[in-house]
Structure 1
């Protein structure tokens, strides 16, 4: 009599092996793409000398990438319920709202105004209006102190959330190197006071690497726990089937 078949352990290994790459991609993709995009972020001296097409492309891309990058980091602690995890999620939420607002005004709106000014044939007549936004202390791209409020709130919230997330992840048993990388990388955008090169690429590139590393650690831990259980279950199933055959 033929015994009931059970799921081969090799198939379980294959399924478990596929999951880490999907999990890693989910948390790495957005901050990594953002880091690459910000390599091409123009450094404006005189706004009327901007490469407007590149400026607009970068800022259109950043609008979804900022909140998606925040979500990627929040996903690392989605199953954690300690105080540090909640602070991480709160910090990433504030970063996403503040920086998207800041980048819309200081990026897209400024770019559209400059584009209109250059097309008008008399850009100097637009300068006062453009400067009023560019040097606005809340939404401006430069601000009167090089630290417009919304940009400053966003930068500090990113670092605050990343440090809190690192604490939560270390308490969950992750290694020192990836959690330190996550925390330290988040300060690049504050040290350089800009999300253009080198601040943005170093920040989000480093956070992408840390997020992938942390998720890989989690996946390896899960794989080591699942495979023995699956193997034991398969063995128990075979023993049970043989027992039934013997009873017959």
Structure 2
């Protein structure tokens, strides 16, 4: 695949969620519940792709570090999807169906009580994934390239998602940084392959 196209494809999940975050309500009420629910349904398809894009960066490798990256990316994808389903789709749907003027019942609060900690596990897994990826890329490269340095943006990106989900402004910025950083790490991987080929010749 063309490296530019590949970098763009790997950036799309994070960038798409950043755009969605611009429209994400900051609170759940009947008035916001339809949008809340509506954003999280397609989110169910996109959130795991952030992890898939990160795991793609170690494709073809069988070393322990690559497997740590894959497992952490999988942990993020599964637990963060649980957050999306419970606190996003389920809580939004129930709040919408209750109708206007109904105070949020304890049952909806209980959905957040289980969804939030599951999302925390997912966001910590995301942080672990990007930390290992960045450390690996810095240690494997002969010298940091511009693309590698831009790739470091995945670290603050993952932290902002940890503290802000996809809510604006923190979560929006975090997802955007994850998208850009993942694309840059993909590009830097291409540069390392070129260096290895040059060294072999």
Q: TM-score, normalised by structure 1?
A: 0.70
Q: Distance in 1 between matches of 2:55 and 2:183?
A: 13
Q: Is the 8 A contact 1:59 1:107 kept in 2?
A: yes
Contiguous gaps of at least 5 residues in structure 1? 1-17, 140-147, 230-248
Which stretch shows the higher mean deviation, 63-72 or 194-203?
194-203
Q: CA deviation at 1:183?
A: 2.2
Deviation string, structure 1 residues 157-187 (Cα, Å, up to 9, x no partner) = 1101110111222233153513422223211
Aligned length: 196
The aligned counterpart of 2:58 is: 77
Deviation string, structure 1 residues 159-216 (Cα, Å, up to 9, x no partner) = 01110111222233153513422223211122x3433112322222111111111222
The aligned counterpart of 1:162 is: 130
Q: Is 1:128 matched with 2:106?
A: yes
Label 1:59 to 1:82 Cα distance change in 2 as closer, same or farther (>3 A). same
Please point out which of 88, 93, 112 is paired with 1:107: 88
Q: Is 1:171 matched with 2:150?
A: no
Which stretch shows the higher mean deviation, 163-172 or 175-184?
175-184
Label 1:218 to 1:193 Cα distance change in 2 as closer, same or farther (>3 A). closer
- Equivalent runs, 1:196-215 vs 2, <5 Å: 196-215=167-186
Label 1:226 to 1:123 Cα distance change in 2 as closer, same or farther (>3 A). same
Label 1:19 to 1:48 Cα distance change in 2 as closer, same or farther (>3 A). closer
Q: Distance in 2 between matches of 1:102 and 1:165?
A: 24
Please point out which of 152, 159, 164 is paired with 1:187: 159
Q: Distance in 1 between matches of 2:32 and 2:117?
A: 26
The aligned counterpart of 1:243 is: none
Please point out which of 48, 54, 58 is paired with 1:67: 48
Q: Distance in 1 between matches of 2:186 and 2:58?
A: 10
Q: Please identify the structure whose Cα radius of gyration is greater.
A: 1
The aligned counterpart of 1:53 is: 34
The aligned counterpart of 2:8 is: 25
